[in-house]
Amino acid sequence: MPGITLGDTVPNLEVETTHGKFKLHDHFADSWTVLFSHPGDFTPVCTTELGAMAKYAHEFEKRGVKLLGLSCDDVQSHKDWIKDIEAFALGSKVKYPIIADPNKEIIPQLNMIDPIENGPSRALHIVGPDSKIKLSFLYPSTTGRNMDEVLRALDSLLMASKHNNKIATPVNWKPHEPVVISPAVSDEEAKKMFPQGFKTADLPSKKGYLRHTEVS
pLDDT bucket at 116, cuts 50 / 70 / 90: confident
How far apart (Å, rounded) are the C-alpha atoms in residues 151 and 41?
24
DSSP string, 129-170: TTSBEEEEEEE-TT----HHHHHHHHHHHHHHHHTTTSEE--
Mean pLDDT rounded to a whole number for the chain: 95
pLDDT score for 119: 81
d(CA 14, CA 18): 13
pLDDT band at 2 (very low <50, low <70, confident <90, very high): low
Close Cβ partners of 192 (under 8 Å, ≥ 6 residues apart):
none
- Phi, psi values for residue 199, rounded to 5°: -115, 130
In this model, does residue 1 exceed pLDDT 60? no
Q: What is the pLDDT of residues 196-212, one digit of tens each?
A: 999 999 999 999 999 99
- As annotated, the active-site residues are 46
The structure's pTM equals 0.94
Please give the average per-residue pLDDT across 77-92, as a whole number: 96
